[in-house]
Amino acid sequence: MSFDDAYGALTDHDDDARWAYGTGFADPLAGVPTAIPDGVDRADLAAYCLMLGDDALIMSHRLQQWVTRAPELEDELAVANIGLDLLGQARLLLTRAGEAEGSGRDEDTLAYLRDPHEFRNVLLAERSDDDFAHLVARLLVFATWRLALLDRLAASGDPVLAAIGAKGVKEVTYHREYAAQWVVRLGDGTPVSHERVQAAVDAVYPLVGELFETHEVERRLAGRGIAVEPASLRAEFDAVMAEVVAAATLRLRAATAVEPGRGRDGMHTAALGEILGEMQELARAIPDGAW
Amino acid sequence: MVNGVAAEQAARVAGAVVDPELPLVTLAELGILRDVRVRADGGVDVAITPTYSGCPAMVAIRDDVVAALGRAGFGLVDVRTVLSPAWTTDWITPAGKAKLAAAGIAPPGTAPKRGAGPVPLVLGRRRDDVACPRCGHAGTEQIAAFSATACRELRRCPACREPFEHVKEI
């Protein structure tokens, strides 16, 4: 396909161009070795890649919903770029999940043709944001947790997960910084902004507990040096949150989870159905559609 | 063609392909072209690496490399993606940095080195010492942490009052 002519590229159906990514986005892991490390259960590896991939995919979609709604043009750029980084991570992880399960499902099939109960993201990723303070508080929690996770994943015994982790660390470092600086600006801002971001932190904290629960898939793969045990990330997470919250003159109230999250087992809130309805509508209406 | 000469030519042709998002610099200057080898059958194996995981230009880059090598007479071109080691702005060559600066985009400084332990949190501004690519004034300020692409940020110069982009160090 040539990009010398934009219209030609748009209508070029000679390759496996699919509408979903515009003009012929191919396998994001093209040429990356696909071997599964010895002794690793393929179903477990697939499930684990889905967990981390779905976190990124669903969070990315929520971020995209803020484009055209953010307070400033600069923040739309930031939110769009952060969403794009996470979408890139999701593509790599979903592709790896498809390879590991060996069923022939590719990233598009996994993103567009699964039902809510088949998604493995944590509930934090699917939560909708009442206002911009909610978005930055939720992004701070998400990025702080994911950065600690990806940093340890860089030492995974699966070379593909290790590479995704090492690359993602560089990206999520900037995501965390963006969210942290906004939380500080709002918290240490006017009485109104302080009150609203405090309310946002209070609203998001009941979802923190789920992030550090270790699923049996994670426990088994961690034992083989492939996955990261989320419980091991808690100290780093708490230290970063304490630093940000202190700089923002906010308080962390004791987090009392109303009920433990079970997103890793496919039990979700209605919010995920709303996201998938929007995200999957076209793919389900026109299967394998190309343009 | 003698194989050594062919390999040199293939590397030169692939390296001269320009980046679709920053067409003022080549793939070689950006440091995203990782390897070019001529196989025994005369085909070429090329390895490229994305700047960011979500880089939407990877397919265009792959196509452009195949097309450029095809025009130079190399028929069987296989472009592989390599994820590790992850791209760093330290791989942008001095010539690439000079071209960015000439186009009004402040080039990156040296990427921060990680010590042991967790990734350090930066709550203040990362850098105040990015020089203005237009007037050379040393102290410029950040307007926004992201710009038209994830790899750039928006800054402004208090001396000449012009806004400009800066390639962030990663």
pLDDT in tens, A11-39: 444 444 333 333 344 567 776 777 899 88
Q: Does any CB of chain A come closer than 8 Å to the CB of residue B121?
A: yes
Size of interface A-B (CB pairs under 8 A): 130
Residue B54 has what pLDDT? 85
Provide, rounded to the nearest whole percent, the portion of chain A with pLDDT above 70. 87
Q: Do B123 and A81 touch (CB under 8 A)?
A: no
Q: Do A89 and B54 touch (CB under 8 A)?
A: yes
Tell whether the model's pLDDT for residue A4 goes beyond 80: no
pLDDT tens, residue by residue, A172-228: 999 999 999 999 999 999 999 999 999 999 999 999 999 999 999 999 999 999 999
Using CA atoms, how far residue A237 sits from A56, A83, A205, in Å, is 18, 21, 12
- Smallest Cα distance from A246 to chain B, Å: 11
Q: Does any CB of chain B come closer than 8 Å to the CB of residue A24?
A: yes
Cα atoms found within 13 Å of the Cα of residue A285, Cβ hemisphere only:
8
Q: Which of A25, A77, A92 to mutate to test the interface with B (most CBs of B within 10 A)?
A: A77
pLDDT confidence of A59, banded at 50, 70, 90? very high
One CATH from 3.30.300.30, 1.10.240.10, 3.30.300.130, 2.40.30.10 for B3-81: 3.30.300.130
Using CA atoms, how far residue A214 sits from A217, A229, A240, A264, B24, in Å, is 8, 6, 21, 10, 48
Provide, rounded to the nearest whole percent, the portion of chain A with pLDDT above 90. 78
What are the CB-based long-range contacts (under 8 Å, 24+) for A97-103?
A: A97/A45, A97/A46, A97/A47, A97/A49, A97/A50, A97/A53, A98/A46, A99/A29, A99/A34, A99/A36, A100/A36, A100/A42, A100/A43, A100/A45, A100/A46, A100/A49, A101/A42, A101/A43, A101/A46, A102/A42
Tell whether the model's pLDDT for residue A285 goes beyond 50: yes
Cα B21 from Cα A165, distance rounded (Å): 25
Cα atoms found within 13 Å of the Cα of residue A103, Cβ hemisphere only:
13
| A150 three-state secondary structure | helix
B residues 20..79 contacting A (CB < 8 A):
20, 47, 50, 52-56, 58-60, 62-64, 67, 78-79
Of A1, A82, A163, the CB nearest to B83: A163
Residue A119 has what pLDDT? 98
Tell whether the model's pLDDT for residue A9 goes beyond 50: no
What's the mean pLDDT when you consider all of chain A? Answer: 89
Residue A5 has what pLDDT? 43
- Smallest Cα distance from B121 to chain A, Å: 7
Q: Does any CB of chain A come closer than 8 Å to the CB of residue B116?
A: no
Residue A27 has what pLDDT? 65
Q: Which of A5, A84, A152 to mutate to test the interface with B (most CBs of B within 10 A)?
A: A84
Residues of chain B with CATH 3.30.300.130: 3-81
pLDDT confidence of A257, banded at 50, 70, 90? low
Q: Do B144 and A84 touch (CB under 8 A)?
A: no
Using omega within 30 degrees of 0 as the cis cutoff, is the peptide bond preceding B85 cis?
yes
pLDDT confidence of B150, banded at 50, 70, 90? confident
Cβ count within 10 A of residue B152: 24
Tell whether the model's pLDDT for residue A126 goes beyond 50: yes
**Residue-range domain boundaries for chain A:** 41-252+264-282
Residue A92 has what pLDDT? 94
pTM exceeds cut of 0.95: no
pLDDT tens, residue by residue, B102-137: 999 999 999 988 888 899 998 887 777 899 999 999
CATH homologous superfamily of A41-252+264-282 equals Ferritin, core subunit, four-helix bundle (1.20.1260.10)
